[in-house]
Structure 1
Amino acid sequence: MRQHSPTAARRGAPGKIAGYVVMVLIAALVLVPVAFIVLTSLKERPDIYTQPITWLPESFTAGNYAAVNETVPFNRYVLNSVIITGVLTVVQVSLGTVMAFALVFLDFPGRKLLFLVVIASLMVPNQITVISNYALVSELGWRNTFQGIIIPLAGVAFGTYLMRNHFMSLPHEIVEAARMDGAGPMKLLFRILLPMSWPTVVAFTLITIVTEWNQYLWPFLMADTSAVAPLPVGLTLLQNNEGATNWGPVMAGTVLTMLPILVIFLVLQRQMIKGLTAGAVKG
Structure 2
Amino acid sequence: MTRNLVLRFRSPDRPGIIATVAPLLTAHGCDIRAAEVYGDPDTGHFFSRMELTSPIGPDRLAALIAPAAADLSLDCDLKDLARKQKVLIAVSKFGHCLVDLIHKTEIGQLPIEIVGVVSNHETMRKLVEWHGLPYHHLPMADGKAAQEARFLSIIEESGAELTVLARYMQILSDEFSTSLEGRCINIHHSFLPSFKGAKPYHQAHARGVKIIGATAHFVTADLDEGPIIEQDVRRVSHSVTADEMVAIGREIEASVLSRAVRWHAEHRIFANASKTVVL
TM-score with structure 2 length normalisation?
Answer: 0.26
State the structure with more CA Rg: 1
More helix by share: 1
- Which structure is richer in relative contact order (CA contacts within 8 A, separation 6 or more)? 1
